[in-house]
Amino acid sequence: MSTSPAPRMTKQRAAIMDVLSKSEEFRSAQAWHDTLRHDGSSVGLATVYRSLQSLAEAGQVDAVVTDSGETLYRRCGAEDTHHHHLRCRSCGAAHDIEVPEFERWAEQLGVKLGFTGIDHTVEITGICRDCAAQGR
Amino acid sequence: MSTSPAPRMTKQRAAIMDVLSKSEEFRSAQAWHDTLRHDGSSVGLATVYRSLQSLAEAGQVDAVVTDSGETLYRRCGAEDTHHHHLRCRSCGAAHDIEVPEFERWAEQLGVKLGFTGIDHTVEITGICRDCAAQGR
DNA sequence: CGCTTAATTGACAATGATTATCAATAAAGC
DNA sequence: GCTTTATTGATAATCATTGTCAATTAAGCG
């Protein structure tokens, strides 16, 4: 794991983290930029992109790519969200993932078949890009 | 459901469906375009985009959007009747169930994150009606 | 088999999100 | 306070994808 140097706390970065903290919605970098301007602080668009990107890498914000290719960000919803993992069978590296429809689907299936107290286990495994590249 | 008119079978569309059928890899529209040119048939790039798009809408090909925003396509896998179980934690009675979207979803997630050889485990448990009625 | 017609094609321009550039600015540490 | 160096921001550049529009051609019909 590469230990990247701690990022400087600039007023722009602070402003970005501040607006992020005020909403848990997923918004595009450009939308966050607009929000910032409405709030008075004028942070450059490029800076918003860079900050959201680095925050996402640091795991401070969640990022998803829409079907149209736009990347949306929101403050990281702490630990409360139930999630699963996609784990590499070779090196063990794991990604946290969410299975959007699944929870509800399982619940409904249970009701349909007369089951209550539905619980589930979902494990997804594969070989990550790095391991595949090294033939492991 | 809107009944869209059946698309014409042009030689370009045929060529595209042909290369698609020869590989089960996920590739970008541009990559498929290159493949086509290598194979001799010169189909316009815009046409490749349009065809892949309509094929994807028609469910004939799978499409995934990568983290970088590129859309990848491959011929639709349509086959395996892999299934899972909903099991009662009390009496062990099990129902065979199918999780329609899941298989493909897991596969696409893998591609997006650079994983190959995706496999998964899905276990759903609950308390069946009989056991619930008897307070078990 | 020819004809008509509307869908399709392709070369290229346009879009739109994101990234790179680079001089100016300002954290952090001393 | 001063120096160093990451960060910023305005703007140009990139790159996948979509729109444009005249030319082409599949399909249905007689």
CA separation for the pair B126, B124 (Å, rounded): 7
- When mean pLDDT is compared across A22-31, A60-69, B7-16, the lowest value belongs to A60-69
| pLDDT tens-place string over residues B91-108 | 767 777 877 678 888 888
Q: Provide the sign of the torsion angle of the four alpha carbons B107, B113, B118, B122, taken in this order.
A: negative
Structural element, H or E, at residue A65: strand A61-65
Nearest to B128 among A88, A97, A114 (CB): A114
What burial class does residue A22 get, using C-beta atoms within 10 Å of its C-beta: 0-12 exposed, 13-18 middle, 19+ buried? Answer: exposed
What is the average pLDDT value for chain B, to the nearest integer? 84
Looking at the predicted structure, is the pLDDT value of residue B13 above 90?
yes
Question: Which residue carries 């509800």 as its tokens?
Answer: A104
CA separation for the pair A102, A111 (Å, rounded): 14
Nearest 5 degrees, angle CA B66-CA B100-CA B54? 50
- Please give the pLDDT value at position B2: 47
CA separation for the pair A110, B88 (Å, rounded): 10
Looking at the predicted structure, is the pLDDT value of residue A2 above 60?
no
Rounded to an integer, the average pLDDT of A119-127 is 84
β A94-97/A71-75 pair status: unpaired
Residue A5 in tokens: 């140097």
- Which residues of chain B make contact with A88, given a CB cutoff of 8 A? 115
CA separation for the pair B26, A85 (Å, rounded): 22
- The set of strand C positions with any atom below 7 Å of a protein CB reads 7-12, 17-21, 26-28
3-state secondary structure of A119: strand
Residue A58 in tokens: 């640091």
More confident residue, A94 or A49: A49
- Which distant-in-sequence residues (6+ apart) come within 8 Å of A22 by Cβ? none
Q: Can you name the residues that pair with A84 across neighbouring β-strands? A: A97
CA separation for the pair A77, A49 (Å, rounded): 20
What is the average pLDDT value for chain A, to the nearest integer? 84
- When mean pLDDT is compared across A99-108, A112-121, B30-39, B58-67, the lowest value belongs to A99-108
CA separation for the pair B77, A125 (Å, rounded): 19
Please report the residues numbered 49 through 68 in chain B whose beta carbons come closer than 8 angstroms to any beta carbon of chain A. 65-67
Is A83 an 8 Å CB contact of chain B? no
Structural element, H or E, at residue A118: strand A116-127
- Among B72, B110, B121, B123, CA closest to A95: B110
- For C20, nearest residue by CA–C1' is A46
| pLDDT tens-place string over residues A16-55 | 999 999 987 889 999 999 999 999 988 999 999 999 999 9
- For D6, nearest residue by CA–C1' is A8
Nearest to A117 among B70, B113, B127 (CB): B127
- The set of strand D positions with any atom below 7 Å of a protein CB reads 6-11, 16-20, 25-27
Is B119 an 8 Å CB contact of chain A? yes
